[in-house]
Structure formats: C-alpha cells, structure tokens
Structure 1
C-alpha cells in the first residue's frame, strides 16, 4: 500500500518567526546548547517508546535497542541528531514544531524583547541570561537549532505506522515551513541541521564529543557517534573503496548510566546541574536539590530539584506538573502528579521505584499505597530542603520565595498533616516592614509580639497599598502592634485554613468586635462604653437612616484618625474574599456589614449636630460609601455618591460666600 505524497507550505503561528529571531540573537554567544536540547528531546522520545512498548511490543518493530545518534556529513555540511524513539505523525508535527509555546507565544515574545532591551542598554550579561532563562521556561529548545543552521529538516515516523507514513518538516525559520509525506523505513525522528557557513566548527567530531560529554553524559539513553579512524592518510587512501562498502560502526560517547542511581559522592555539582537542565529543559541552574535512596519495604530513589525561576505555565491549572517516574530504570511517565502535591508543582526531578509494576498507569497511581508513601516522603524531603535553606541561606530562600511563595501558600489548605511546617516557611509583609521589600516569618512575628498579645493579627486586601493604609490598622499602629499585610489572592484561601500557628490564633483585624485583651487600656474601654451610652441616639439614628444596608452601627475601638470603617461578623466571609469570588464569576453571600464610627471625629460630630433629616441621610450615606471605598470596595451607585458629595461641597461654598 502506498500513500500519495502530500506536500504543503504552512505559515508559522502568530509571532513565531519573530520569536525565532529573538531566540537566535539571545543565545548566539552560547551556541553549543543546540546539541544539548536536541539530544534531550531525542532521549525523551526514546524513553516514551520504551514505556509504550511495555503494553505493545510490536512498536519496537525489529529494532529493540533504543539509542540516540549524532551524525556528521562534512560534504553536505550537516549534523543529524537521530533517535529510534516514539516519533511523531503529521498532525503532531504541526502542533508541536509549527508553534512555539502555543498558549504563551505573545508572552514569550514580550519577555524576550525585554531581555533584548537589557542587552541593548549595556547589560549584555543580564540580557543573555534572561534570554536563556526564558527559552527554558517556554519550552522552545528545539528552535535553538537555528542559531547554527540556516535550514532545519525534520523527518519522523511514529512507531506503529508503516514506512509510507513518514513526514518531513523543513524551514529556514523565516515565517513558513513545508510539510511533506515521505517514505521512512525506520521509526523515530531525524533532525538535520544544514549549518551556516560560519558554523562549520561543529562538523568536527571532537567538538561534538566534547559538547556531549559536557551536557549529556548523565543521560541514561546511549548517545552514539560513528567510530573515528585514526589511521594515517596513506593507509586511508588504500582502503577508501572498502570503507565505502562497509556500514558505519557506532560507539557510545556518553556514560549512559542513570545519574540518580549513582553514589552521591561520585556525582559532581556540575553533573547534578546538567541533569536538571536535561529533565526540566530549563536553561538556568537549579536553586537546590535533594538526592536520596530509600531501602526497606518500599525501595526507591528520588532526585528532586528546586528551580531558580518560575515557569511561564505555573498558574495554568490545566497544565500537568510533577516529577518523572521510572520503574527499575525504565521510564514510565512525565509529570507524575501523584508523586508530588499540586502545591509543590514547581518541583522537578525523578523518582525510580523498584517495587511498582512496569505497567503502572495514572489510574493505578491514584490508588496505590506505595505511591502514597513515596509522595509523603517527597513532601517531607522538599520541606526539609526549604527549611535548611531558610535557616542557613536566607538570601537564597528569599529568591525562592519571590518566585514560588504564592504557590507555597496553597499548602496549608491542601496538606493538613504538614500545615504547621508549611506555616513556618511562609513570609509576609507587615506594618513593621512597611516601605521596604522585607518580609518576615511567623516565628519572627511571634518573637516580636507585645507583652500580653495573644493573637497574630492580619488584614487582607486586594493590594498592598490598600492593606497598609486601611483605617482598621489605626489603633494597632498607635499601640505599636504588628499586623500582617496580605494582598495576594491566595491569602484568603490561606487564612481560611491556617487558623493558628505555634498555638497562636490568626485574627483578622476587619472581623468582629475588636478585643485587644491585655493590650487595651482599661481607661480606653471605659471611655468607649461611656461614649456609646452618651451617643446612643446618634448610633440609632444612623442605623435607621442606612436601613437594610448595615446590620449594626456602633462606636469603634479601631479608629484613631478616620471617621468610619466597615466590619464583618467574626465568622462571616471577608469583604475582600467576596470581591475576589465575584471577580472570577462565582457567587458570594450577601452580607450586611457593621458600620463602626469614630465618635471623636469632627465629621461624626458634625453629623450628630445635623437637625435636617435629609442632610443627615446624605451625610450618613457619604460616610458609609467612603468606608466602603477605603476597604477597596465598589459602590452600587457611584453616581449617587458623587451627587451627594457635590451637594455637600456646594453648600459649604455657599456658606463660605
């Protein structure tokens, strides 16, 4: 059976050609990484075939020995990276090679332009480093081929399809590519680089062997090159015709042993770093790693890494995250999310089990006691790594926190067992660190608590500025009591599950009737109680004026400088969380807030003295609306608020005239 050759020219998806130019210019001074990326991709393809062949041996055809080969054709000026792995079909070729980070191309282009801008402004090292980092984050390592090649050809056939279902992709990276159906006897993928005139150095076999030794020694898959003949030119001349008739002989040029199975003492830092770049496709070095061999009833090896930078898809809930799973050195699956909880989705690495079956599936992983044990141990290992870093290398931990802190905040809600340990790793801005980038741990907060302070106080808002300038903080600032300033969306989720830490209750300063306990002066308490009695008529009159918009109007113990603030019940949803839910299209309960007023404030005194009920109502609504705005809320009727404010201003001007 033959398939009609089908050739077409297709345009790259939007902005891809522009991104290619940026990739080439960003990595030009580190050109040799193209080989690392292509070998890494080829190794992954071979590993995937090994896994699929466990349930379908026919996929191996008559070629069961998986490998990667690097071939040089001096006459043609080409380098070929070839594998006999899983291969790809025509549609997969369009979906993967015809697009760059399909959902993030625009982000990638903008980020790379920023990196280029840094280089143009004289910070070349920063620009180059940022370029490499971004390319790793967006998973576009294949396109580094165009650094050294002016044309790239990819020929592939997916395992399980017959030879006439091969497909050839070819492009000069300028905006379009051709796709053609071709005959390909062997399965797998050949990536052929047609080198530029000024990149002929890569045709030297010793140069390629050096690069492979530098970047790909740790790869478990054999990387082969043609055996070199070191005979003299005279000897070669007499054997040319005989050699042409012989099939080339290949030899393995990398160590080809699974790095994670080697003794830790025999692995250098550079080897650990190179292996991280291989499994993560990240161009940056890892921040830290942990390598452990567990023996006993459940035997496995784990090599886990903490990245230095967050990947672009960290917040994509649909994106798979997790570590690579091997069973007895056989690759089983990428992104085995059951081995690492979602709140640690930034962790990269390998877990190799001696006890799991080779035909393990995602469904089996979901209900396997051994997997639960490995997962639990992985979490503890990562927590220990972070705790050591936070204790011994605070600057490095700050780097981690800046990138992944918001993800770590998901932990207390998802992992009750480790909630206290996760709490110790959290960092927060506070009223004591206002105006600086400094963050503090809960342990540090507790050490700085005032004598008699029983609770850890916090406030949530939709921005740092809104939190820092909230009227709810006035009495705390007056008494020098530190308050955590929480402004990430995830913070509401965090405090709804992290109710206490080290025996200290976390208390919102915007909920319930404020009770400062021993921090409050008895004189202040007596004064407030007396004021409530003296101004009982004002509070009732204001409640009647506002009607169903509030549940209560009462004298405030929170306020010092502001006239009023909004407070919700102790067990009610915070106003900020209600706004967050509504912003993402979810329902939030309708809550009637309490309005607290500062009876010593001139505006409140002016309100109390107003005998005209219409003016009283207008002033009362302005007070209520201002309190909502100060909390970051939105008014139901902004035009009415503006109208009342204008009326008030006009009356003042008229009296002044």
Structure 2
C-alpha cells in the first residue's frame, strides 16, 4: 500500500535507454561512480558559494561547504552528502527523470557517434549520477534547495524503469545520496576501498572530503594557485604525492594560459632517470584534469612520447569530455593542448640552458636520451629539440659539452659542415685514425657515444644550414693538410704500393689510395656510406644486415710501416703479404667492420714467428 504523499513516475524513454548504456557499457571501471558523485557534489557546492555572494536569503546559510561520505559494511551502504545548492521537487524530477535542457535524442545520437560536445552535462545530475546504478540495487537522493521556504524531498529508484518522489522532514540544505549496494559490489562499503578511490580521482577537489569524519583530500591543488604564494616545500610535497616519488624534483614548470585554451599546468622533472637505471620504459605520468577532477592519470595522447619522463598535472576547463569523463571526444583539442604544453616546456629548457648551463648539463646527462629520441622520431619538434642537444667535442675538455649553436660560433668562416664521430668513449675516438686529419686542420669534431646519436644525426641532417657529416665517412673531402716535414713515399711509389695492396687484399677491398687525412696512423678503413662503425655494431647485435659490401683502404705514405712495407714487398714478399693483410684487418677492427678475427689472430702469430727468427 503506497503512502499518500509518494508520487510514482516512469523514467523518460531516453533515460531508460541511457541507464542501460551507463550500467552495461559506458564505464570501464565500476569505481568511477565515486568520482562522478563527488564531482557533482563539488559542483553543487561551488554554485552555492557563488549564490552566497548574490543572494541574501539562503537556507542554512551558515552550513559549512564540505562533502561527507560514510560507509557501512554491515548494512552494505555508502552515503555521499554535500551542503551545496540542493534541488527542489521539480528539479529532482527534471534532473533525474529526464535529460533536461540537453536534447535527449540528440544527446543519445552524439553518444552513439562519440563526437558531439557534451560539456554542458559535466557536473550536473546527468549521466554521471546514473553510474551509481552500476553498483546499487537502490539509490535514494535526499535533497533540499537553497531557497527559503522550500521543503526537502527524497527521490528513490532501483533503476528498473520508474522512480518515486516523497516529501521528507528535517532535511538540511544540499543533497545526500544513499546507495544500497549489490551483493557483488559490497567492497564499496569498506572504508579503505573508498579512501583509495578518493585519493586516486578526487584528491584535489576544492572542498573538504570527509570519509567517516576523517578528511581525505589533504593535498592542495597547487597548479590553481599563484606561483608567488607557493613555497618550495609545498611544491616538493605535491611532487612527491603526485609522482609517488621519494626524491626532490630537478626542475619545475608552473604556468597558466588563456589562449588558445584555458590551461593550468604544473610539470616536474625528477632527479633521476629510471630508464637509465634499467627499470624499463617509463609510462606517461602527467595527469589530465578538468576543473580539478581527474580525467586520465596516464594520458598517452596528451604529450609526445619523448616527454614521458615528466611528471605533473595539466588542467583545462575547455576540454569537451564524453559523458563518462573517461575518453576525450575531440582529439584535435587534446593535441592542441599538448602542443601548447610541449612548446612551453621546450622554451623552459632553452631558458634553463642559457641561465644555468651547469645545471642544464646535469639534466642533459640524465635525460638527454629523451630529447635525442624526439629529434630522431618526432618531426614536429625536431628543430626545437636540436637546439637543446649537447655533446662532447675535440675543442672541449673531457666532461664538458657544447651545443650545435656553440659549435657553429667557433667554425672557420669557410667551413660548411658540422663534423661528428661516434665511438664507445672519448679515449677510443682520440686514439683512432679518423680524428687526425681534423686535428691537423684545426677543425672541431663532435664526439657521440650513444647508439641513438647516429639516428639523431641521420634524421637531423643539417642545423642552421650547416650539413651534419660523419668524420669516418669514406667520401669525405677536406682542404689540404699542412705539409709534414717527415719523408714520404713518392707519388709513383705510393701509387705502386696502393696497386699492390689492392691485389694482395683482393675482393675484400674496393679501393686503396693515399690518404689526405692520416697524420700519425699508418692506415684506416672507410665505407662509402655515412653509416658509422657504432651503427654497424648495433645492427649486428640486433641481427640485422649492417655490414657494407665495399671497403675503402687509405694509407699514410709518411708512416714508417708503409715505407717499410713498400721495401719489404720487393725483398720478402711472403712476409709483406702477411703484414699487408694484418694492417688491413687492424684498420677493419678500428672501424668496427671485422666480423671474425680468427684469421687475423692466426696471421699475427705467423708474423711474430717470422719476426722472432730474424737475426
């Protein structure tokens, strides 16, 4: 038998359809209902705060604006209450029984298509509210409007197609939602479960959230405050909370923008790089918020892949979200948002490199790999990232790095190329033959030690109209080297030795010629292409064919070995052939081109044996 003041209503047809969508397919995680109901409570409280400024007569005017949540794992209920704007009886019916003011049919069509803007529903008792039926057998909504003279009402439904509205006594201003949980969802009646969900999604809601009388959201949304009023200790505390970190941040960037989008962002760079320490690939860690409500803790499409080392928060009021707050409808806006943040971050790094070069070099030592990755794979930011690259060079002492712009500032007027060379370390590069010609001419060469560096240079190709050229490239042309006082083979002798070496080495070498680069070393092996020895070694390790089919062999006509070899080929041809092949293999080792050293080792023992017999 029904109570006289209880009114029974059927849900609008579109609401029935909507309930089915929400309960069965719209949300990927049931726990989202906590976030949705807290967001609605926060919006209702915010509206009441504004009304207090404009309205004189407000019911329960001195009631604190806070969000109270209580759990009861005996009764299997969870209650969420706010003291915000509240609703009248008519507003309960319109807000919860119909899709008021949004165009129900158009809304459902947009939901199916996934493309229309539904930001007008964010924060209202709309679809977010209906997520409660994913976990509840019954939902009761107690509400009383802020308007003096209005009475309180309770809205009750099982989500099965109808709802009831009844007047109640003693209701405070605002809204209280009581969920009677399904048997499969009793875990949501546990204090620790709800606390974890609140911390994950609603830590920065601007009103106090009290769970069973304990305040849960204790961290302030710093990104919404002015920088001048925030202490370093507050930034550090926020960073540790948001990034789940134990250290202090290396850099922080706090900024806001109004155009082209309303953005408030707070980004951090950690002290250490976990990828470098061998902990695997980092996941994106700049969380995306809309008005302090978490949308995605790890948005993969917001920032470029190479920015995955950054931590922090981005908040934008302009995001049109779909009704579940889980997937952004307009990807182009997300991309626009990402571009603004990325450009601001690049500008920040550029300023740091100029203002505090020592600190920036420390940053680059830890995180430079990510910037190099961006140059290698991201055409959008390639040129801006190139300005932030730093390398050791032949003109700098060990440990000091230089930018490409600084390299250019030191170039000779007639020089058109930026030269670089890859190697395991500085010592191996400086002890090899490839640097000699550049040192003799006073030409600076950048030293590259990481495998990614080769991809960087091949993708960059030029910088400020200067071509990037590998110093161990075979077809390299340098100006005449200053003449050495050491005696050299004559032109005829040199040509004859080159011909004999070509015949002796055979098909393993394409060409043998007199070198214009060598100063102290007897010979070097080169390839016609621009692929470095380090790149070839890396490709070999990956099981890919990186070995060249053609090798160039250059000899130094002033070196004692070549002069002696030229005489030896006439007096002891067998030993001369062994020495020639050994010199060639030595140069192949230096170039990273020798695949199998077995023959080389065996030949070395033959040479040592013959040398030991010489009287």
In the other structure, the counterpart of 2:549 is: 591
The whole-number CA distance in structure 2 between the counterparts of 1:500 and 1:223 is 55
| SS state at 1:565 partner | strand
- Return the offset for 1:279: 1.3
State whether structure 2 residue 307 is matched by structure 1 residue 344.
Answer: yes
Rate the CA distance shift 1:280–1:313 in 2: closer, same or farther, 3 A.
farther
1:623 to 583, 586, 611: 583
Distance 1:333 1:564 in 2: 59
Give distance in 1, aligned partners of 2:534 and 2:384: 27
Output one character per residue of 1:101-130: Cα deviation in whole Å (capped at 9) or x when no partner: xxxxxxxxxxxxxxxxxxxxxxxxxxxxxx
Of 468, 474, 490, the match for 2:452: 490
Instruction: Please tell me whether the aligned partners of residues 461 and 468 of structure 2 are also in contact (alpha carbons under 8 angstroms).
Output: yes
Matched, 1:565 2:524: yes
**Alpha-carbon spacing, 1:465–1:58, altered in 2? closer, same or farther (3 Å):** closer
Aligned to 1:394: 357
- Label 1:359 to 1:464 Cα distance change in 2 as closer, same or farther (>3 A): farther
1:333-377 CA distances to partner (integer Å, 9 max, x unpaired)?
122122211222211121222232333899966972112212221
Residue 544 of structure 1: aligned partner:
503
2:18 maps to 1:55: no
Alignment of 1:156-167 (within 5 A): none
In the alignment, what sits opposite 1:432?
A: 395
Q: TM-score, normalised by structure 1?
A: 0.61
- Measured after TM superposition, the shift of residue 308 of structure 1 is 2.0
- Figure out how many residues of one structure are paired with residues of the other and give that number: 451
Determine if contact 1:322/1:340 at 8 Å carries over to the other structure: no
Q: Match of 1:370, SS?
A: helix
- Rg comparison, structure with higher value: 2
Q: CA deviation at 1:607?
A: 2.1
2:391 and 2:446 in contact (8 A); partners too: yes
CA deviation digits over 1:411-459, x for unaligned, max 9?
Answer: 222233433332221111112334x321122222222223533322110
Contact 2:267 2:312 in 1 (8 A): yes
* Equivalent in the alignment of 1:186: 189
Q: Distance in 1 between matches of 2:510 and 2:283?
A: 46
Map 1:72-91 → 2, pairs under 5 A? none
Indicate which of 327, 331, 335 corresponds to 2:294.
331
* 1:365–1:411 CA distance, 2 compared to 1 (3 A): farther
Quote the Cα distance in structure 1 between the aligned partners of 2:323 and 2:432.
54
User: What is the root-mean-square deviation of aligned Cα atoms in Å?
Assistant: 3.9
- One of 412, 422, 428 as aligned partner of 1:460: 422
Counterpart check, 1:260 vs 2:223 = yes
State the match for 2:322 in structure 1: 359
Provide the secondary structure at the position in 2 that maps to 1:514: coil
CA distance in 2 between counterparts of 1:391 and 1:510 reads 32
Distance 1:623 1:444 in 2: 38
Please point out which of 641, 647, 653 is paired with 2:606. 647
Q: CA deviation at 1:591?
A: 3.0
How far apart, CA to CA, are the structure 2 residues paired with 1:604 and 1:440? 37
Structure 2 regions of 5+ residues with no counterpart?
1-21, 40-67, 72-133, 137-180
Number of the residue aligned with 1:478: 440
Query: How big is each residue's C-alpha offset from its partner over 1:450-487, in whole Å with a ceiling of 9 and x where there is no partner?
Result: 35333221101233332232211112223332211111
- Choose 349-358 or 387-396, whichever is displaced more: 349-358
What's the CA shift for 1:540? 1.6
Q: 3-state DSSP class of the match of 1:338?
A: coil
Structure 1: any 5+ residue segments left out of the alignment?
1-49, 68-81, 86-158, 167-182, 193-211, 227-247
Structure-2 change in CA distance of 1:314 and 1:365 (3 Å): farther
Q: Matches of 1:604 and 1:385 in 2, distance apart?
A: 55
CA contact (8 A) 2:582 2:603 kept: yes
1:215-239 CA-to-partner distances (Å, cap 9, x unmatched) read xx9844867679xxxxxxxxxxxxx
3-state SS, counterpart of residue 419 of structure 2: strand
Please list, as runs of the form range in 1=range in 2, the aligned pairs for 1:235-384 lying within 5 A after superposition.
250=213, 252=215, 258-312=221-275, 319-359=282-322, 368-384=331-347
Secondary structure, in 3 states, of the residue corresponding to 1:429? strand
Q: Judging changes above 3 Å, is the alpha-carbon distance between structure 1 residues 296 and 491 closer, same or farther for their aligned structure 2 residues?
A: closer
Match status 1:555 vs 2:514: yes
Q: Are residues 358 and 603 of structure 1, via their aligned partners in 2, closer, same or farther at CA, if it must alter by over 3 Å? A: same
SS at match of 2:418: strand
Aligned to 1:202: none
Is residue 291–residue 304 contact of structure 1 (8 Å, CA) maintained in 2?
yes
Task: Return the alpha-carbon distance in structure 1 between the equivalents of residues 26 and 221 of structure 2.
Answer: 20
Residue equivalent to 1:415: 378
Partner Cα distance (1:508, 1:498) in 2: 13
1:252: how far off? 3.8
Q: CA deviation at 1:615?
A: 3.0
Tell me the distance in 2 between the aligned counterparts of 1:469 and 1:316: 34
CA displacement at 1:584 relative to structure 2 = 2.3
Partner residue of 1:449? 411
SS in structure 2 at match of 1:496: helix
TM-score by length of 2: 0.65
1:306-355 CA-to-partner distances (Å, cap 9, x unmatched) read 22221257877755224111223321112212221122221112122223
CA distance in 2, matches of 1:372, 1:66: 28
Match of 2:463 among 501, 504, 509: 501
* Cα distance in 2, alignment partners of residues 647 and 508 from structure 1: 36
Secondary structure at 1:335 match in 2? coil
